[in-house]
Amino acid sequence: MARVIVDVMPKPEILDPQGKAVTGALKRLGFDGLTVRQGKRFEVDVEGDLTDERLDQVREAAEKLLANTVIEAFDVRVEQ
């Protein structure tokens, strides 16, 4: 069993209303100088050996389902 992490973030040029709201809330709470962008983190447990082929499957899954590539970018990496 191996664990692969898929990080999905809104593309930088795309409006991130969530991040904006969080940034505003932090400021009101007195945390200054923090700018936040909010995305998603998926922990994917892969059954069996983590072959290159398996990893490619996770990448495909990310592209197809986990991220909406029109507005989001994703990054796939194996957890150390």
Residue numbers of the site for its own copies (CB under 8 A)?
7-9, 19, 22, 25-26, 29, 31-48, 57-58, 60-61, 64-66
Helix (H, G, I), strand (E, B) or coil at 22: helix
Nearer to another protein, 50 or 63 (CB): 63
Exactly one of 35, 51, 68, 77 binds another protein (CB under 8 A); that residue is 68
How far, in Å, are 8, 13, 17, 64, 74 from residue 70 at the CA level? 12, 11, 16, 11, 11
Distance CA 50, CA 23 (A): 38
Contact residues: another protein, CB under 8 A: 10-18, 20-22, 24-25, 28-29, 38, 65-66, 68, 70-71
